[in-house]
Structure 1
Amino acid sequence: MTTMAIGATGLRDVGRRPAQARPRPAHGEGPLTLTARGRAVVVLLALVLVGVLAMRATGADAEAPEGALAVTTHVVASGETLWAIAAGVADPGEDVRDVVLELQRLNRLPSAGLMAGQSIVVPAQG
């Protein structure tokens, strides 16, 4: 069975037409479509990114101290030196020079000079 239409030019057949291909959009237009392989690559890249971020977040810093250092506050007396304070808190056999440097670092001192009445932190004895 055929469908016919009457128009200004006369009678024409409008029945079954062969299926026409949909016009392809120009480059850059239309929705993005991924193949199964493309979706697998995107998922794999996302998993690698999550893994790298997880390892980075849980990584240990080799330069970080193992635990917190217990400290006490010491008020510098008149005539007292950083060397004398370091010698008083140094463990037996520990080099006093290392303790002086540690006290400078702990207190952010630019030099080993101290002033009477100045408060500094020193490692707690114990």
Structure 2
Amino acid sequence: MSRIRRSVFVAASLVPVVAFGFWFQGMGNVDGQTPYRVIQVQSGDTLWELAGKHGDPGRDVRETIEVIRNVNGLKDSHLMPGQKLKIPARVKEEARND
């Protein structure tokens, strides 16, 4: 195989590997290792308030609300006092900068 053909072959082989890497990184943490904290709903609490207070400040509150609804099997945004919710734990700022 000529040198040029080999270079083209190697480059063409790396493109799918790099594309898969970007795709996989964009999936987020899908291996079940996402840290959650459990909070107890108080009277007057809303998903928006809880997502803003306990969620990751680097994430859009609407995304956090969607995660909370999915993880807890909520059909709507109605909360009951005393209800326990899993909320994605905040990412520490120093960990985000690494």
TM-score (norm 2): 0.57
Of all paired residues, the percent bearing the same amino acid is 34
Secondary structure in structure 2 of the residue aligned to 1:84: helix
Out of 84, 87, 90, the position equivalent to 1:122 is 87
Higher helix share: 2
Q: Taking CA–CA contacts closer than 8 Å with sequence separation of 6 or more, which of the two structures ends up with the larger relative contact order?
A: 2
Higher strand share: 1
Q: CA deviation at 1:89?
A: 2.5
1:85 counterpart = 2:55 = no
How big is each residue's C-alpha offset from its partner over 1:77-120, in whole Å with a ceiling of 9 and x where there is no partner? 00001110001123334211111011000101001110111011
Change (3 A) 1:93 1:73: closer
Q: Give the distance between the partners of 2:59 and 2:40, measured in 1 at CA.
A: 23
Over the aligned positions, Cα root-mean-square deviation in angstroms equals 2.0
1:73 counterpart = 2:41 = no
Gaps of 5+ in 1: 1-61
Query: After superposition, where does 1:1-126 map in structure 2 within 5 Å?
Result: 65-66=30-31, 68-125=33-90, 126=92
TM-score (norm 1): 0.46
Larger radius of gyration: 1
